[in-house]
Amino acid sequence: MKSITSYTSEAFVIQGGKPLKGRVKVSGSKNASLPIIMASLLPREVSIIENVPDLLDTLTAFELIKSLGASVDFQNGVATIDARYLRDYKAPDEMVRRMRASVLVMGPLLAKFGKAVVSMPGGCSIGVRSIDQHLKVFEKGGANIEVKHGYIHLQVDKIKPVEHTFEVITVTGTENALMFLSGCERRSLLRNIALEPEVMDLVDVLKKMGVEIEIEDRTAVIRGSSELKSFKHTVIPDRIEAGTLMVAGFLTGGEVVLENTRVEHLGSVIEKLREAGAQVELLSLNSLRVKRDGDIKPLVISTAEYPGFPTDMQAQFMVLCCLAKGVSEIRENIFENRFQHVAELQRMGANIHVRDRTAIVKGVEKLSGAEVYSTDLRASASLVLAGLVAEGTTTVRDIHHLDRGYEKLEEKLRSLGATIERLPRREG
């Protein structure tokens, strides 16, 4: 397994203007892998997870469960996890700071040990991101919750069945609740749950462990077990990586075929790409072709929970809007501070005005290469996309954000004809 420092290279240098052409395989989903890695703490025998992307975030998740006593072997996308001998139930501050999704360890630890101590996550670059909804479910299930010295201490003797309606739709909140209630043998009811494909992938895993889960509309009925079985599971393809590569193909005026994707998860992204003028041809359930043979049309985008347009694709689509013939409007409804890429895109010549949660983007003739800084994962992807079409050279710095969530992105883009190079970390 690689060390964390092997991911911290500093910059991409991109020569813009090459249309991307060819075939590319989409990696396993980051946001599906993370809860499934945490769920592997639940059974008492060895579990196997396939199609796990090799990323900074998955590595952090492995480190976290190893620090709790699990043993992990990760090779060629296959993780073999033995959580028989856990000895700890604490997620330390440095892990939670490195990756907020570390909070996903709360549900499984409570279900298995009846105890969890997790550093209280602070705000992050895209918003405040409270975890009150996670805690409300734990509390209803009988957990005692105390915040001491920056840590949340949770303790429960026997998990009680829960009937709960989420006040906001939350992806990791739903996942944590499902993993927690897997440890309760009586029937619980969760309303207003998230239906993202990543949540459904976790549901599949929990069912393989012997948990009974039925979902209708946004309501889940769940009955757990005290003896959860080990599982073998192949993680779904990453729909956000797929969407990013589709935008790359269309934006650069190329023709890209995506393989190993799940077309059914890409509905709203395909719809918006078609509205922008892309030709999207569905080749099979797992493969599609994207190409462009005209101008980019302006868009009206409003981010929403699945099956709506994903917030994780908002920054990438903004780059399309920067070069569209006309004025686009992008409204970010999920996170309150997810427009940090705007200032960097403006440095490249984009015409964008932000008011509250809406960005008005007036299309320009071209973007020009510049030195720009990543602020979060999807913002960095948008800067790479902008670099691929900009005139001249773009240097995208702080790409450790990108390395959290895109497996071998530059290799994939290079295989499609992009000129992109990774600069080693600057010393000092």
Site string for ligand EPU, 191-230 (x = CB under 6 A): ---x---x--------------------------------
- Residue 34 in the binding site for ligand EPU (CB under 6 A): yes
Per annotation, catalytic residue among 124, 184, 321, 322? 124
Which of 195, 236, 257, 377 touches ligand EPU (CB under 6 A)? 377
Which of 20, 24, 26, 31 touches ligand EPU (CB under 6 A)? 31
Q: How far is the CB of 336 from ligand EPU (least distance, A)?
A: 7
Candidate segments 38-46, 123-131, 341-349, 394-402, binder of ligand EPU by CB under 6 A: 123-131
Q: Considering beta carbons, is residue 128 or 283 the nearer one to ligand EPU?
A: 128
Q: Considering beta carbons, is residue 47 or 170 the nearer one to ligand EPU?
A: 170
Alpha-carbon distance 232 to 226, whole Å? 19
The one-character DSSP state at 308 is S
Residue 166 contacts residue 132 (beta carbons within 8 Å): no
Element at 191 (helix H, strand E): strand 187-191
Q: How many residues in total does the chain contain? A: 428
- Residue 33 in the binding site for ligand EPU (CB under 6 A): no
Q: Per DSSP, what are the bridge partners of residue 148?
A: 151
Query: Which among 148, 143, 135, 147 is positioned nearest to 113, based on CA atoms?
Result: 143
Which long-range CB contacts under 8 A does 369-374 form with residues at least 24 apart? 369/14, 369/15, 369/16, 369/393, 369/394, 370/394, 370/395, 371/347, 371/395, 371/397, 372/344, 372/345, 372/347, 372/348, 372/396, 372/397, 373/344, 373/397, 373/398, 374/398, 374/399, 374/400, 374/401, 374/402
Which of 43, 107, 173, 249 touches ligand EPU (CB under 6 A)? 173
Candidate segments 7-15, 169-177, 241-249, 358-366, binder of ligand EPU by CB under 6 A: 169-177
Which of 335, 339, 373, 406 touches ligand EPU (CB under 6 A)? 335
- Residue 118 in the binding site for ligand EPU (CB under 6 A): no
**DSSP readout, 379-423?**
HHHHHHHHHHHSBSEEEEE-THHHHTT-TTHHHHHHHTT-EEEEE
Site string for ligand EPU, 245-274 (x = CB under 6 A): ------------------------------
- Residue 341 in the binding site for ligand EPU (CB under 6 A): no
* Residues tagged active-site: 124
The residues binding ligand EPU (CB under 6 A) are: 31, 34, 101, 127-134, 168, 170-173, 194, 198, 311-312, 334-335, 377-378, 405
